[in-house]
Amino acid sequence: MKNKYLQETIECLENYKEYRAKLESKKEFLKKLKSEREHNDREVGIKSSTYDEVPAKTNKVTSIVEKIAIKNIQMELDLEEEIDSLQFYLKRIDLSLLDIKKEWRDVLELKHIEGYTWDYVTRKMGLSESTCRRYGEKGIKALADKIKGDESYIDLPLFKYIYIDKVEQA
């Protein structure tokens, strides 16, 4: 069980760059969507409706244009929610990394986030391979503990902990 959780922690680090790229891509797409909507609104001289909440499914909309407008706004809201979740997830990892020893963090960043080989990590750190591997193991254990504490060694997905904590705080 312990090894599975630690493996999930490693996978989170290895996917970190991918998640960061997805976040930037989604932000750019949202910016483009909003820009296009605002441009179209100015061209036809209207202002889009803004919703504090998601439009209810019971709205009886008969106009195709209104249906498209609601669908576009819903897409923006969904995208904003995805962006918030990704930002929270990445921030949680960033803060957890800041809480562990610098040497451990450096090894984890080089090996698991940047994807370098142990040979490169040892040269960059100026340490032996066994020391770098030991720092990596200690860093992974410390990171798992920072994310969820003593419960980090039970067999539950790391992703679940991150999102459960977000929901519990709300």
Q: How far is residue 156's CA from residue 63's CA, in Å, rounded to a whole number?
A: 47
Per-residue model confidence (pLDDT) at position 82? 92
Mean per-residue pLDDT of the chain: 80
Most confidently modeled of 1-5, 46-50, 140-144, 146-150? 140-144
Helix (H) or strand (E) holding 142: helix 129-148
- DSSP assignments along 117-138, one per residue: -HHHHHHHHTS-HHHHHHHHHH
SS3 per-residue string spanning 49-115: CCCCCCCCCCCCCCCHHHHHHHHHHHHHHHHHHHHHHHHHHHHHHHHHHHCCCHHHHHHHHHHHHCC
Per-residue model confidence (pLDDT) at position 35? 87
Contact (CB, 8 A) for 77 and 120:
no
pLDDT digits (tens, 9 = 90+) for 117-158: 999 999 999 999 999 999 999 999 999 888 766 554 444 455
Contact (CB, 8 A) for 16 and 109:
no
* Number of C-beta neighbours around residue 18 at 10 A: 9
- Contacts of residue 55, Cβ cutoff 8 Å, sequence gap at least 6: 70, 73, 74
Contact (CB, 8 A) for 158 and 9:
yes
Per-residue model confidence (pLDDT) at position 121? 96
Indicate the domain borders of the chain.
2-169
Q: 2 or 18: which carries more pLDDT confidence?
A: 18
CB neighbour class for 142 (10 Å; exposed up to 12, middle 13-18, buried from 19): buried
